[in-house]
Structure 1
Amino acid sequence: MDSAEQGLTEGDLHGAVVRLSDCIQLMQADLVHANPTPENLNHAVSDVLMYDPLDEWTSVDDRIILAVGLTCGSADFDQLLHRASNSNAAAVIVKAHGTPMERLRSAAVLHSLAVLVAPDNLDWTRLVALARASVMGAAADSVSGVRLGDLYAFANAAASLTNGAASIVDPLGRVLGYSTLPGQPVDELRRVTTLSLQEVQPPAFDSDFKIVYASAGAVMIPGVDEEMARLALAVRAGGELLGSIWILDPGEDKREPALNALDRMAPLAGLHMLHARSASDFGERRNGDLIRTLMDDPEHASFAAAQLGLDAANGLAVAAFSIVRPETGSLESVREIQRLLHLVTTVCNIQFNTSHSALIDSVVYALLPCEGTGPRAAHRRVVQEIGAYAHTISSYPLIAAVGGIAPRVEDLPASRSEALQTLQYLLRAQSPAAGLFEDYRIPLNLLKVGAFIAETGLSDVDDITKIQAHDAQQQTDYLGTLRAYLASNGNISAMAERLHVHNNTVRYRVSRLAKDFDLDLEDPQKRLWLWLRLTTMDLGG
């Protein structure tokens, strides 16, 4: 729980009691109660805890415990139920993963503990945020009677409480809802943003948003020129930034009560934004599915392009982005890749006034339009700009690559393949960077040659294979000598400098190499083959 939530719980809720039944209703996460009774439904709830069997047991009184990675019948799950029941926990949430409901009900009844069963495909990260926001939201009743996720109705309620026109904005700068109460003064900036449903300046590059995001509670942002001052609050759930609420300053006499009202409604705002995002998740998944169809299924590409409203008249190019980190399954890595998706979407919107991006298999893809006389310069600029801001979302390096231009939507799979080839080459080269496919065309083509050599068995019994086997058995380094010879074009002095040995030593090594393996190093075709084999081996890692 962050500092803003902590302060609200202790200072502003005046000891309000939150019941388990209230939390279940507010979460709307398709939870199934294995053993509902009046007693456990009325159990007080204070917070949410993600359970780890290896963690030291802390106070769980009145907490909802999430049994991440545990299954009914395991020793760890049985231990959790025993400890949770003895510690007066409010409930345990678990995924069934095929366990019959009757078995879960029996375990719950045995320990006299509420057990809630979550869908197997429900993301734990989202559930934590929903559960925590529900606990806070159930305790704050400053905005009631608004359907969860209806951000326009919530904005009207917020405007009524604060006496100022309200807007709700997500981290990308999209206006998700705004108030429509008559009689409240507005300025030109408010008119522009409500008409376009988009902030003029993306939050990632706006100093006012940065001030709001860095503040623990509601703050006032002074007006500039003809703009009115604004009261603003960053909205979070479980530490995750969901967006912000902006209120046009109601005036000095009403400002302090309005700031206090904003702080009080923070938990409910988080709950509403989480549910609104859940509704929009369907649209994002559909968008991702359509982009996947474009890149994987040429037969249905034109249909997907029409559904996306994609303008492909001048061609498109696929850009691919990935964060280079040692492990990819952690909660933080998931958050980082989502932040990367937001960054790519924001920068593409700024550069091209449109964005078609999606997260597919841990890679963020964007479809880049090819407008004007120099589309590749624009493509290079956009991936470099994204790379420049990468440090704001992760401490790990970012790699980015753009495939070639696809003249038709049916050609997008080839552009995606080129982008991925370039991405993988940069990863193998351990040189995180951003570039276009043509920047690396030669090494990528050589890698294809190397793959052909391996697939057709041309390397099975050639000289390089023999030298490798000898080096491995005799602990020699003839391959290193050959590599230096080819890289130096047979120049003895250059080889000696490269190998840090005397010229005579180089001559001896070369003569032994030629004699022991019957190599005619004067034959240009032989040298070409040896160079090709070594180069493709080195490029392929």
Structure 2
Amino acid sequence: MNAGIPPILPVAEPHIAVTLGALLAQLGPQSAELLGPADTEREVLGTEFYDALDDLPDEPGAILLIPSGSALAATELSALASAAVAARYAALALKSRDEEVATLTAVAETSGIPILRVHERVGWRLFEALISQQLGEHRHTDDAHLDRGAEPLFALANELAEFFGGSVAIEDLGRRIIAYSSVPGQAIDPFRTQGILARRVPDSPFNDDQYRTAVRSDVPLKYAQLGEELPRVVTAIRAGALPLGTVWAIDPTGDDPITEEQIHRVSSAAAVAAAHMLNDLRVRDAGRIPRENRLRTLITGSGVVGSEFAELGIPEERGAAILGFDPGGRDEADGRTAVLDHPARIAQLRSTVQRHLAVHRPEVVTVAHGGRVYALFACDRLDAAIRLAEPLLPILDRLLDTGTTIAAPGIVHRAVEVAPHRAVADRLFDTAAHWEVTDRVLTPTLLRPLLVFERSAELFAAEPELRFPQVRELVDADRPVAETLLAWCQRFGNVARTAADLGVHENTVRARLRRAERTHGIPLEDPDTLLTIWLQLRSEGVAA
């Protein structure tokens, strides 16, 4: 009866470009000024704070905010500018003294990236907020939770602290403390004090394991005292099966087992907190950003602690599918340049993939990385994941018009398996491009022979002693004989079928095989040797 109802397709939000020139005009000279000549028509997509201890995040089109810019030497700033150009940032923003303006201008001219001099009276959080307001994104900041939207959570923390007699903290998935109690006389320890002051849970050798266990548990837990850390009762904040954060209450009564009343109180508080966190857009955004950061950690394999699946609401026993989306649109000179020159295309691809998959898998999380988009969601079968993603292709064709392809490397059951599978997805994309594969959904099963050829070529290049030198000489000196030899291998030594494939007489095939053996020294009698020659021919790019 529903046959006449067309399928509901995700509605693509129109992309409105904000250029650097338009942004500066809106900010005004009282906020920032442009140093040196620059392309003011380049598009700005967001902001990113610079951290000297980390690599530059993969955020093409962002303005890199450098609070420590005045402490950088000219050579360090030049190196940073070059790195920002390579990462396709829109501009650098920093504060400086008047006598440093000439140096900054020279760096801008030499590197080719615009440099914005931020007014000394404009705070960095305010400057970020001004940019975000112009971009229409209203991005999360660490102080966003201190406004009126978080007041119910502070009241909830105080109410729970009155019962426990100890400090209570409510955290989001980024382990930021978004609300905390301030009841006079409450028990508190240095660990909690430091977290409140920094608005973030400090590192602890026990914290990762405690957090992972708490998020996975369906009931509140109690942790005994560890050094100066007082006993704590903790429970996860959830909306259905989706984790949103945690509630931690210090229990000054000691290491006695958790009581039924404590379980009831902290569970009720978590339910109330979940309702407020879902209703407050700012806190929802704060939950989205850590989820994207979790996936970015997983696909890079850097800093994986093992709790990421639980934090993303993905059961390890069921498994998860990781899918890659390559927008295509490559030019012949540089396969990645055309894509990375249009970061808005990547942003639109990620947004569309997220909206489509979230209809079927609410726990899905997506992230853009290296000019591609990756999605992770709970799934126990690869064919089911492909069925979810395939309807996206015609939608993406209409939106991007670049021939997007999907890579489905497999199902993962542990956090540490995500990065290797992402590497397989990248290899699928690269192999398909090299061999001009026209399929739009790529799997290891589909491309297995080509993957073997690619790896074999790498092996032969790295270890030349494994190659038959006469095969390379044959390919260079007598291509028709090389192609005949390959076709003969592919037909398992059947001369008649080889001749039919090549469109030549059978005697021509025999003559070419003799020439390969006698003139070029190609041994054709030993099966293992012949297998190696066959593999080398395919790895050399010879096609019958």
Q: TM-score range, shorter-chain basis?
A: 0.3 to 0.5
Give the TM-score normalised by the residue count of structure 2: 0.48
